[in-house]
Amino acid sequence: MPEGPTVRRRRLGSELRWLRESRSIKLEVVAGRLGVAPSGLLRIEAGKAPMRTAYLNTLLDLYGVDDADQRETLLDMARAGHRKGRWPVRDGVLPTGLGIMVGLEAEAASLRVYEAQVVYGLLQTEDYARAVMTAVRRRQTPAEIERLVGLRMQRQDVLHRPEPLELWVILDEAVLWQMAGPSPLGCQQLEHLDEASQWPNVTLQVRRFSSGMHPALGGSFCIIEFPERLDPDAVYTEDVTGQAYIEERDREVRAWAEAFDLLRASALPPAESRSLVRSISQRSA
């Protein structure tokens, strides 16, 4: 069983490869600057080996990365690549304009998601995403909000690629009723949920108010599963203090997986969930 935190190494390697290729710098040139074999640098970019922070600072200088927040985010990723457990992420920092979660979604085979407050990002309409971003990111300028909305829409490409991401989403019933009413925004979002729930790679369940207490009262979460068997699953959580990734196969991730199974068992089956979405949508029309 692997001991290293491969998810963090994978993300850092992807970021470093993007930085190198976007500047048209050959692998051999970078390896020579570091004094390592090209094969060693390839392993780092593939997420198969950890990156020393001293080497990383040299690379960031070579790639012309001057932004202090971006540098510190990448250094955080390098440090996290040497240890297991929780991986905190600096809120709002997008190292390559894509963001860490976007990259993980692009590499994942499947996601298991529980959402208590809003529709999950991969199933949001553009107008709904804009409303959510405006409400949550109150200090962002309109231009920054539009950029974030664009990124959220870009994320949804993973559902339509040749080998699409498998997505299983459980929503609290409250998420649906927040969209009920005469607003076209809510009606359009409910219609989109209805449509998406019929895609072969998407499973949607709704957990009704009457289902009672559950093991995820602490909030929403996402379990990320990768196609390579030796890559451990990871859990993404978010709260008012920021985001964190948890990678620990035998402990915390297992606890989140058990919580999801209990939520799935207590939620409406997919067909009944779709009927509820349609019923609320018809009331909103």
Per the model's pLDDT, the better-predicted residue between 174 and 75 turns out to be: 174
Q: What is the pLDDT of residue 87?
A: 44
Distance from C-alpha of 196 to C-alpha of 178, rounded to nearest angstrom: 19
Contact by Cβ (8 Å): 15, 95? yes
Evaluate whether 42 touches 27 at the Cβ level (below 8 Å). Answer: yes
| DSSP secondary structure letters along 181-224 | SS-HHHHHHHHHHHHHTTSTTEEEEEE-GGG---TTTT--EEEE
CA pair distance 106, 101, nearest whole angstrom:
9
For residue 28, which amino acid is it? Answer: E
Question: pLDDT: is 190 or 104 the higher one?
Answer: 190
The model's pLDDT over 138-169, given as tens digits with 9 standing for 90+, comes to 888 999 899 889 888 988 999 999 999 999 99
Report residue 6's pLDDT band, with 50, 70 and 90 as the boundaries: low
Entry pTM:
0.73
- Give the pLDDT confidence score for residue 242 in this predicted structure: 61
Report pLDDT for 277: 97
Q: What is the pLDDT of residue 205?
A: 98
| N-to-C CA span, the chain | 53
Query: Domains in the chain, please, with CATH?
Result: 1-83 (1.10.260.40), 85-284 (3.30.870)
Identify the pLDDT of residue 230.
Answer: 62
Beta bridge partners of 238: 243
Spell out a b/e string for 66-100, using b for 16 or more CB atoms within 10 Å of the CB, else e: eeeebbebbbbbbbbbeebeebebeeeebbbebbb
Q: pLDDT (tens digit, 9 = 90+) per residue, 259-285?
A: 999 999 999 999 999 999 999 998 876
Mean pLDDT over 207-222 rounds to 91
Tell me the helix, strand and coil percentages in the chain, rounded to 5. 50, 15, 35
- The enclosing H or E element of 113 equals strand 110-115
Long-range (24+ apart) CB contacts under 8 A made by 97-101 are: 97/151, 98/151, 98/154, 99/151, 100/11, 100/245, 101/155, 101/236, 101/243
What's the pLDDT tens digit per position in 62-111? Answer: 999 998 888 888 888 787 655 544 444 444 444 343 456 776 787 789 99
Question: Which comes out higher in pLDDT, residue 10 or 184?
Answer: 184
